[in-house]
Amino acid sequence: MKTLVTALLFTTLFVNCRGAASSNAFDAAEDAIGNNKFEKARELYRQAADKDPNRKQRDRALLALANIEWRVFHEDAAARTTLARVAADSSEYANALSERARMESERAADFTTAQKFAHDAVAAAKKRDDRRRALITEAIVTIEPLLRARRAKECTDATSLRTTVASMRGLIERDGPLLTLTGRLFDAALLLDDGPSMLDAWRWYYGLAPGTPTTALLAAPEATLTRLLPAWRGASASTAERRELGLALAASRFFPQAALILTDPCAREPLPHDSEVDTIVAYTEALRRIHDTANEYYRRVALGKGDKGILHGRVDEEGRALARWLGQRDYSQKALMSELQKRFGTVITLGETSNVSDIHLGHSVIDEQRSVEQYGRTATLRFIALDGIVSNGYHEWAFDGRSGDGGWAADGTIYQVRPMYADGPVRLWLSVADRESRAEEDQKIAEETERDVARAAVQPIRGFRGLELRMRRQDAERLLAAYPQRDAFIAHARDEKFATSIWSHEGRHSIDHKYEKRLKSEELEYRAKLSEVALTPAPRNALYGGILADVSSPTPHGRANRRLVEGVTAWMRANAVAGLDPAKPLMPQIDKLSDEQLRAAFRSLDPYARNVTAIR
């Protein structure tokens, strides 16, 4: 499969590129990763680990250094030595143990050692987030060898996972339905034949609380899961029941789990072969190989040795093999993609993101079309949300999941990478409503606000983490005041993010493509971000979620963001803003603007808004 989409307009979440002139070695290392300079990042993390005056920051640097040592450079011994430098009395000690567990699992497949370190991390964790991370790591390194055995057609005893199921359910009850929790719960429950927990995990994963409407694409699978799972008999289930459940899981984009059900070596009798079952199993295996190929290619890109021809060639090989499974005598990429999209909701792009060739492969779970209107102009917008993500491009791999591509636009359709958004509302709730999480967030805000002063002295327009955190807190406080109950808070936060990032931002793209045929990428992004802030109930959300983070990168997004900040700070100079100190750099003071002032500032920059007297 070659390039399927040629014009990609990526929206990146949680960008870590914070400017070329960082005020300390740790920030500069983050910048280096954003610019694909891992050798430089490694040296800068070493400097931060040795010289940063803050012990916590030194230990954070050690963790980041170890991560790229084992994950990028495959220097496992060096990573072990680095992690061992984090002392037992450090606030980062539990995280160092979790990182060691993950390394032993992913690099050496030494699950006994990994489980030991994960268990020690759980025991050492004192903070809520650290304990959650340790428990998730423990669940992963406990589940993974059992999953591998099942895929190798070995029937293994999974009774040890009862503790994992209880642990994940307890965390979901305490912290909310974070994807890492619900996903691990589903896998453990599947191996245990615990149908009720599988159903709960599946519903939590997709945010389907009681009374919540199910999307059209998930309605049929949900009905099947709701009928089969409460009384699921696992290995004792009939072949007809196992086939029906496997097909439903595949239809809901749970492909690895579907294949485990369809090929369960513990089953009383194997499923008879048929083309539908065999195709799902073959497709799942192809997805796993593409995932592994992409990750190794990304690692080689980070080392300066990436060859996109190898990536494209291997993906094309998988496509040809799948075409044979589907009975296509004469291979046609177009025909194959049409069939995969019809059967599995497959969406794949081989293109470039920020000058790096990469692959995005996921599966549609929402597909709907709406009319959007802004400033008297209308357009039609088709929206597709993707899950079952196999690869979300190089950027997410480079930052080890801390950052990633949120979506793209192509041929009049908006594609959203759902996992990049799904946890945001839950984490926002925890940051303001949970006492321990709020206290930790308070400390982060104070620390990063202090660092912002030093950052601003070097570079008055750049990423200011303290500013982002303060605006995030302000937004969370607004929501909490209106919706003090967790489910309502999360639901409204999710709806607001959707309205901001999709109907306002991507809707503006659709309008501009209709009315302004010759706009370049930077101008398109600039205008979409204007709408994202001005035409939303949550203007702060758009700012701390992306605009403020990347104002220095040479990408269309980075250049657009810088123009926005320059425009807003000019508006601040010309208008009365309570508490503003004009003698200090203005960008770190953007949080002093009220929501209506933010909307007014962004409207003042919009060529459409200037010609409209009544703003909707």
Report yes or no on 143 lying in a domain: no
Q: Residue 467 is part of which domain span?
A: 423-611
Q: Are 554 and 588 in contact (CB under 8 A)?
A: no
Report yes or no on 564 lying in a domain: yes
**373 three-class SS:** strand
pLDDT digits (tens, 9 = 90+) for 271-309: 998 999 999 999 999 999 999 999 999 999 999 999 999
Burial of 369 (0-12, 13-18, 19+ CB in 10 A): exposed
Q: Can you give the pLDDT at residue 373?
A: 94
Instruction: Provide the edge-to-edge strand list for the sheet that holds 346-353.
Output: 11-13, 404-410, 413-417, 377-392, 356-374, 346-353
With vertex at residue 415, the alpha carbon angle to CA 411 and CA 419, rounded to the nearest 5 degrees, is: 170
Long-range contacts of 604-607 (CB under 8 A, 24+ apart): 604/567, 604/571, 605/530, 605/564, 605/567, 605/568, 605/571, 606/375, 606/527, 606/530, 606/531, 606/534, 607/527
- Stretches where the chain sits below pLDDT 50 are 1-21, 613-616
Q: Can you give the pLDDT at residue 615?
A: 37
With vertex at residue 118, the alpha carbon angle to CA 115 and CA 124, rounded to the nearest 5 degrees, is: 145
Q: Can you give the pLDDT at residue 210?
A: 57
pLDDT digits (tens, 9 = 90+) for 516-574: 988 999 999 999 999 999 999 899 998 997 899 889 888 898 999 999 999 999 999 99
Give the Cβ contact number of residue 406 at 10 Å. Answer: 22
Q: Can you give the pLDDT at residue 12?
A: 42
Report yes or no on 286 lying in a domain: no
Helices 595-604 and 556-574 meet at what angle, rounded to 10? 110
Contacts of 240 (CB under 8 A, 6+ apart): none
With vertex at residue 321, the alpha carbon angle to CA 316 and CA 325, rounded to the nearest 5 degrees, is: 140
DSSP state of 339: H
Report yes or no on 179 lying in a domain: no
Q: Can you give the pLDDT at residue 2?
A: 33
Q: Are 150 and 187 in contact (CB under 8 A)?
A: no
Q: How many CA atoms lie within 13 A of 107 on its CB side?
A: 21
Report yes or no on 384 lying in a domain: no
With vertex at residue 484, the alpha carbon angle to CA 482 and CA 486, rounded to the nearest 5 degrees, is: 125
The helix (H) or strand (E) run that includes residue 95 is helix 93-106
Report yes or no on 212 lying in a domain: no
Report yes or no on 232 lying in a domain: no
Residues 345, 350: Cα–Cα separation, whole Å: 17
User: How many domains are contained in the chain?
Assistant: 1
Report yes or no on 452 lying in a domain: yes
